[in-house]
Each structure stands twice: as C-alpha cells, then as structure tokens.
Amino acid sequence: MTIIVLTGAPGVGKTTAVIRVARVLKERGVIVGGIVSRELRTNNMRIGFEFIDLTTNDTNVLASITGNGPKVGKYFVNVAGCRFAAKRLTNAVRNSDVIICDEIGPMELKSKEFIGSVKNLLDVDKKVIVVVHQKLQHLLIDEFRNKSSLLINVDLENREKVNQILLDRLIT
C-alpha cells in the first residue's frame, strides 16, 4: 500500500499535479480511477466546484453559489454530487491500479457516503493519492497522515517538481 497525501494553499497547483500524473500514468497503461475537483467559473467569477470522474470524464456539481444543501462559506454543497464522487471512488478501489481523491475538504465531508468511501482508501492494497484541504483539522486527515508513505506540502517553490516525485513513487 502506498498513500501519498498532497496538501497546500488553494490555487497552488495540487489538482493540476494530480491531473498531469494521471495522464502520464494512463499513457503508460496504468489504470487510474477516482475523482478530481475543479472550479466552475462564469464571466471570470467562481460560481462553484465540480467533480470529474478520472475514468469516464463524467462530471457532477460539488457545490455552487445557488441551490440548497449544507452551506460552506458562500457555497451550497450538492450532496448528490458527493454521492457521485463516493461511487466513483468505490469503483476505483475495485477496478484501478492507482486511485486519486482530490480533494478531502469541508464541502466533501458534508456527505456520509463520501466520508465512507474515503475511509475505504485507508485499507486498500493499492497506490492512492489524496489531496487534503490545507485548513482541514479532522480525524480522518490524521489517519491519512499516519498511514501515508509520503506527505507533500505543495507550494510555489516545489510545485513543478511534484509531478516527478509522484511518478517516481507510483511507477515501479
């Protein structure tokens, strides 16, 4: 089991790094599954976030500035979107060589299904990358930190090297 935890300030390049690594791994024939999340923007304004399934490229809304559901900051969390992500993570555990979960943060933790699927990542005998929201203080995060074989705090100085560090750990 290999668990790599990425953390760092918002916008520093954590998601970009895992997307690039997923692309390289897939080009090399590695089966990569899981989810990444990205901002949703309209007229250069962030209006929410969405999940992207790394296997199918299907998307589902994580949170938006309109709607209903639990509120985190100015965003309403789409619990159905979190269930979508949980199912994708569960599928990745069954069908993938490398599992990516971007990210574990306050919005995602509003879903019991999501929390359950993330906890399952602690016990799989596969290679796992999790991106953890920098300010999150939660027992789950400590469990990942305790089990991780590598914890990387991504910043402006090391973000260009993170891809290679991840690939070196994941390609055997």
- Summarised one tens digit per residue, pLDDT across range 95-134 is 999 999 999 999 999 999 999 999 999 989 999 999 988 8
Do the beta carbons of residue 122 and residue 143 sit within 8 Å?
Answer: yes
Q: How confident is the model at residue 172 (pLDDT cuts 50, 70, 90)?
A: low
Give the pair of three-digit tokens for residue 170.
Answer: 């994941």
- At a CB cut-off of 8 Å and minimum separation 6, what does 113 contact? 82, 83, 86, 87
Quote the pLDDT of residue 33: 98
- Summarised one tens digit per residue, pLDDT across range 73-102 is 999 999 999 999 999 999 999 999 999 999
- Whether pTM exceeds 0.85: yes
Quote the pLDDT of residue 140: 61
Torsion of CA 45, 51, 57, 60, to 10 degrees: -90
- Summarised one tens digit per residue, pLDDT across range 17-48 is 999 999 999 999 999 999 999 999 999 999 99
Q: Amino acid identity of 53?
A: D
Q: Amino acid identity of 112?
A: K
